[in-house]
Amino acid sequence: MKKHAVTLCLTVLSLLIQVSALAITRPGMIMLEGMEEPIEETLFESSQGYSFWYVSDGFSVDSQADQNGDVTVKALYTDDYMTLSLCTPAEAAEYLADSEMKTHEPSSVSHFQRELSLELKNGSFHFFILISDHGHYLKATGVYSLESAEGNAHYFQRVLDSITFRTDRDKEFLRELPGVWTEEIGDKGAILTLEENRNLFLACYDKTRGITVNYTGIWNYESDTEHGNCLKLQLNSTDNPLKAESVHSMECVYAAYMESYVDNDTLITVLKLSHLLRSGGIFPLEELFGYDGGSLYREKKPNMQVVNCRESVTLREQSSTSSKGLDQVPLGATVLAFPETGEENGFVRCIYHGQEGYIFSKYLQTFLSGQ
């Protein structure tokens, strides 16, 4: 019995560690009663196709009813809560027709909010807010006490401001963003690292002066019908003593799009940036490359090697053994492959000598430079 109890405890601990490791968090600041306070936020991604950030310390998310379209953000130390529920366009139209509604200014580039009601009953505020994003609608209903009006109300509003619906196109673009992006013009350059957990690291250098300035912060992604893909970069700290004060909470929002081309079997992806919004001063990328922030580049070089064949394998036009052969790839040759996108009928998408096609996965293995 004791052995089984120990095993169960270890299993539960292992699961908790895994869940904790999977959580995406980011640091931030919030203004409360005229003072800035540091916070940590956790990303919640609903099965209904939207996501938001909530303050990790002091709040929890009850997602038990998520499959039905309801998600509740609860305060841990008070009875305050906010429930998000999907609603149809027809329901939203009825709410929008309410003459007592007042319109808020857009809180981000991607959605608007309208407050339907805010009533003080028995020392607590009861609120009802409609959020519209990409043609999707959520209604936020909840309660916070009069004492929490300068606290939890701001935290709930922060959740509402961060709500984003993601289309399939958005998910694909978001999947492509993490990685290392670089640019160098003359003696000046930048290395921007976007991590999966939404942290960012930016190094700006000037070879002539022998100077490198490092920044840390967070990044996020939004989209809207007017600007398309929007990349938000926020810098929180730097090792540059001249910018230590001004860099605090500096952010810039860019309209961004990607294009790719193949050069000598190397896939070169370009992240093009177009300035939209700025706060807190001139963003370092703009100082280096001009008003828009320029373009950043990423290379993916041949990464898999042909194995397990006598002489060569066939690069096929489609993921089928009956598909047209485009070329013969010799044993030991390296190809630019995309195993991360998954296999199709046992084939992996590859590029060899500028031609894109498919190679059966059993004939490929990861290539290690120096082999």
pLDDT, residue 35, reads: 77
Angle at 178 between CA 110 and CA 227, to 5 degrees: 25
Structure tokens at 25: 């968090």
Say if CB 55 and CB 40 are below 8 A apart: yes
Write down the pLDDT at residue 69. Answer: 73
Tell me how far CA of residue 61 lies from CA of 8, 41, 45, 265, 282, in angstroms.
26, 12, 11, 46, 37
Say how far apart CA 169 and CA 231 lie, in whole Å.
14
Which of 269, 251, 273, 248 lies closest to 260, judged by CA?
269
Q: Which of 11, 10, 120, 107 is nearest to 52 (CA)?
A: 107
Contact 231, 209 (CB under 8 A): no
Residues 322-337 pLDDT 10s: 999 999 999 999 999 9
Query: For 23-151, where are the alpha helices, taking DSSP H only?
Result: 89-96
Average pLDDT over residues 7-33: 54
Tokens 């009069």, residue located: 146
Quick one: DSSP state of residue 320?
S
pLDDT digit string, tens, across residues 23-35 = 678 887 777 777 7
Give start and end residues of each alpha helix (H) in the chain: 2-22, 89-96, 152-162, 168-176, 284-289
Q: Measured between alpha carbons, how far apart are the two ends of the chain, in Å? A: 52
pTM > 0.85: no
Q: Could you tell me which of 9, 31, 21, 83 has the C-alpha nearest to residue 52?
A: 83
Structure tokens at 97: 């027709």
Q: What is the CA radius of gyration of the chain?
A: 25
Tokens coding 312: 């060569």
pLDDT tens track for 46-94 = 878 788 889 988 899 977 766 667 899 999 989 999 999 988 888 888 8
Q: What is the pLDDT of residue 164?
A: 79
In words, the CATH class of domain 24-165 is: alpha beta
Q: Which residues contact 76 (CB under 8 A, 6 or more apart)?
A: 58, 59, 60
Contact call for residues 335 and 364 (beta carbons, < 8 A): yes
Q: Which fold has domain 304-366?
A: SH3 type barrels. (2.30.30)
pLDDT at 9: 40
**What is the number of other CB atoms lying within 10 angstroms of the CB of residue 196?**
10
Q: How far apart are CA 159 and CA 142, in angstroms?
A: 13
The pLDDT tens digits of the residues spanning 170-206 come to 777 888 899 999 999 999 999 999 998 899 999 999 9
To which H or E segment does residue 81 belong? strand 81-87
